[in-house]
Amino acid sequence: MYLFGASGHGKVIAEIAESNNLVVDGFFDTDFNKTKVLEYPVFHEVPSRKVEIIIAIGNNKVRKDIVNEYVNFEYAKLIHARSHISKRTSIGLGTVIMAGVTVNVDVSIGDHCIINTNASVDHDCVIADFVHISPNAALAGNVMIGEGTHIGIGAVVIQGVKIGEWCTIGAGAVIIIDIPDGCTVVGNPGKVIKK
C-alpha cells in the first residue's frame, strides 16, 4: 500500500496501517525536498501501473482532484484498530477512520472521507464523498453531510440536521438548523457568515 501525500496527516495514516499490520511501501509526493516520512521512502513519480493507495491529504478538494486525475489507482480504506465501528455501517473506498472514533449503527460514509481522531458519528447519519469530520466533532443521529464539506474540530451537529455540499463548519460551531450548499458557518448557535 502507498500513501499519496507525505505530510503530518500522512504520518497518522501510516500508523493506522501499522495498527492493522498492513505494509506501507512508501509515500508519493510532488515535493522533491521530501525523501523520507517516518522510516518510509518518498517517491516523486506517480506510477502509471495500478497500485493500492490512500490519499493522505486533508484538503477535501485536493483529494477529489487526485481521484479525478489518477484513474489507475485502486483505493483501500483504513480503520484504526482502536476505533469502534458498528458492523452495520457502510464505509466507502479511500476513507480513513482514525483512533478513538465511534461510528454507530446504520451510518453510511462515502468515498475518500476522513473521520478524524475521537469524532463521534451517531446512528443513521449519511456522510457523502470527500467529507472531513475533524477531531472531537460530534454528529447526532440522522444527520446528513453533503459532498466535500468540512466539519471543524469540536463542532456539534444536532439530530436530523442536513448540511449541504462544500460547506465549512467552523471549529466549535453548534449547528441546530439545516445549512445550504457552499456556506461557511461559525459560532454557537451556528450562523452563516459566507455563501
Return the pLDDT at 51: 86
Average pLDDT, whole number, for the chain?
95
Cα separation, 136 vs 118, in Å, equals 5
pLDDT tens digits, 17-53: 999 999 999 999 988 999 999 999 999 988 777 889 9
User: 108 pLDDT exceeds 80?
Assistant: yes
pLDDT at 190 over 90: yes
List, as one string, the DSSP characters of 117-134.
Answer: TT-EE-TT-EE-TT-EE-
CA distances from 46 to 50, 58, 96, 114, 181 (A): 11, 19, 21, 22, 33
Say what the pLDDT of residue 45 is: 86
Number of helices followed by number of strands (H, E) in the chain: 2, 25
Q: What is the pLDDT of residue 88?
A: 97
Q: What is the mean pLDDT of residues 77-105?
A: 97
pLDDT at 49: 79
- Angle (nearest 5°) at CA 54 between 119 and 30: 115
Please choose, from the candidates 30, 28, 80, 35, the residue with its C-alpha nearest in 3D space to the C-alpha of residue 54: 28
More confident residue, 72 or 101: 101
- Across residues 79-90, what is the average pLDDT? 96
- Here the cell at position 83 is 476505533
**Catalytic entry in 9, 80, 123, 150:** 123
How many CB atoms are located within 10 Å of the residue 50 CB? 10
Instruction: List, in order of start, the domains of the chain with CATH numbers.
Output: 2-75 (3.40.50.20), 78-187 (2.160.10.10)
123 in active site: yes
